[in-house]
Structure 1
Amino acid sequence: MKKNDLVFYDSAHSIWKKSANNTSKGAVTKRDQIEILKNSIFKVGESYFFTFDVKNGAFTSVSKEIKSILGYDPENISAAFFLNQIHPEDQPYFLKFEAKSSDFYKNLPLDKIDQYKIQYDFRIADSQGNWKRILHQMLILEFDDNKNFVTSLGIHTEISHLKQQGIPILSFIGLNGNPSFYNYDQLEDHSSLEKPDFTKRELEILRLIIASKTSAIISEELFVSIHTVNSHRKNILKKSNCASVTELLVKAISESWI
């Protein structure tokens, strides 16, 4: 890789190193919760997982699904190479979002760090040179008592079919009932924005709709009648001011309702 190709990566790495700082040996570990964390990350298309060494700016593992989505070998891909494939127009957003994410986590109480996930999108070239939009979701796996980060868990989902245009959007999603901060980059006071007042059941159905489940399948999975599912679907469209399921999918993803 040429020296000029490393400028973007080096800029990102400098942000990560500040987040890691001088991590103590007594790092708080969350490795035993990886499966729980994976289940908290929402998938709306083909996805792959990865773990990341924050201080060294390096992948420690990448799941095999990256091959079918982007065409890259999970055994040989480096963070520097990956970042160099991000669309030039989205690279400034990537750096800004990474810096804001670091600040956001540093300002959280220690017991809240593992209660939030980062979410934003960007375009990246696959092995054939085609641009694909990726939804980036990340949680902190390991950190110490000084809020220095050791390892993160991420998932990349292709959402080209849901968002073809528009600038990248950064959100912080609260888990286990914690408040979420949508379109964080546009908030002046960084207070959480309101989303449609969906009920718990409506959110369950919305997740299944985005996962391309039919009303018949949803009724079977939730043990309710198709009539009940369709009634919820109508309420979801009404509350979201959407005229179609396609519009609903785009708004749900772009405004981080899930």
Structure 2
Amino acid sequence: MESSIKTGDFFSLQNSVESINESDYENIGLIIEAAKAFERSTYQCVYIIDYFKKGFLYVSSNIARLCGGEAEKIKDFGYRFYIDYVPHEDLKMLVEINNMGFKLFNNLPVGERKEYTISYDFHILRGKRKRLVNHKLTPLILTKDGRIWLAICTISLASGNERGNVIMKKPGSGMFYQYSLYDHKWEEHKEIVLTENEREVLSLSTQGYTMNDIADNICMSVDTVKSYKRSIFQKMEVKNIAEAVTYAQNHQLI
């Protein structure tokens, strides 16, 4: 069924970019090479959005493997990529996040806007199968009035099983904004604080260490390690270590 959502729905007037000249694109090659180096060193799926030309400036081959398409075709599709590869309900969610994200972004101090990243989970279709992915968008270059000209995005498999989880934050600020898909508004939250031992237990868990291994490593009992894990889960309001690791990465706690 033809989607009622069009590519233009992703380009909010709240981020209307004008007065970009061809001379402004002269150093774009350096940005693309930096993105390629980042992709090689992290194995992340990376692409760059150009809000002036309303398309993709660069698309990594890793994204093609994720959705089963070809990188150059996805680059040529631009925002048609979302319409072709995202389920309709998730597509509506993305348009809402896009509009409300720019509304919040434009209320932030201009000098701080490049420091914020927005993160959320949605499904990508590969044939008849769906994959839940985590998507992060960070401004690369702003216009003089603080609008996003270029943004770098990364996509990775999500560890949870529900779409949403919409967060905008600035590292080290001690707080973050979370968007409610039910109340359709942003809510401000204080960032949780992990103790040194909790951070150590979580870091070792990401490396695949067992409870016994962690206990030996930090010279504490297994029961103590379990206690730290319970405390971490309670603070983050998660159910397992995979969700805790994702939360920690999204909130830059480790």
TM-score w.r.t. the length of structure 2 is 0.73
5 Å-filtered alignment, 1:11-90, equals 11-12=9-10, 14-15=11-12, 18-23=14-19, 31=31, 47-77=44-74, 78-84=77-83, 85-90=85-90
Tell me how far apart the structure 2 counterparts of residues 175 and 207 of structure 1 sit (CA, whole Å): 18
Tell me how far apart the structure 2 counterparts of residues 47 and 119 of structure 1 sit (CA, whole Å): 15
Identity %: 12
Equivalent residue of 2:137, what SS? Answer: strand
Specify the alignment match of 1:235 in structure 2.
Answer: 228
2:154 paired with 1:155: yes
Specify the alignment match of 1:114 in structure 2.
Answer: 114
Equivalent residue of 2:73, what SS? Answer: coil
1:180/1:69 CA distance change after superposition, 3 Å? same
1:251/1:182 CA distance change after superposition, 3 Å? farther
| Amino acid aligned to 1:132 | R
Q: List gaps (5 residues or longer) in structure 1.
A: none
| Amino acid aligned to 2:110 | L
Tell me how far apart the structure 1 counterparts of residues 133 and 220 of structure 2 sit (CA, whole Å): 34
Structure label with greater radius of gyration: 2
1:79/1:181 CA distance change after superposition, 3 Å? same
Specify the alignment match of 1:193 in structure 2.
Answer: 189
Tell me how far apart the structure 2 counterparts of residues 140 and 62 of structure 1 sit (CA, whole Å): 16
Conserved 8 A contact 2:176-2:190: no
Conserved 8 A contact 1:143-1:150: yes
Following TM superposition, by how much is the alpha carbon of 1:202 offset from its aligned partner in structure 2, in angstroms? 3.6
Specify the alignment match of 2:208 in structure 1.
Answer: 213
Tell me how far apart the structure 1 counterparts of residues 44 and 166 of structure 2 sit (CA, whole Å): 19
Of 219, 241, 250 in structure 1, the residue corresponding to residue 243 of structure 2 is 250
1:197/1:18 CA distance change after superposition, 3 Å? closer
- Count of matched residue positions in the alignment of Structure 1 and Structure 2: 233
Of 206, 217, 222 in structure 2, the residue corresponding to residue 225 of structure 1 is 217
Give the structure with the larger strand fraction.
Answer: 2
Tell me how far apart the structure 1 counterparts of residues 203 and 67 of structure 2 sit (CA, whole Å): 25
1:204/1:167 CA distance change after superposition, 3 Å? same
Q: List gaps (5 residues or longer) in structure 2.
A: none
Following TM superposition, by how much is the alpha carbon of 1:113 offset from its aligned partner in structure 2, in angstroms? 0.8
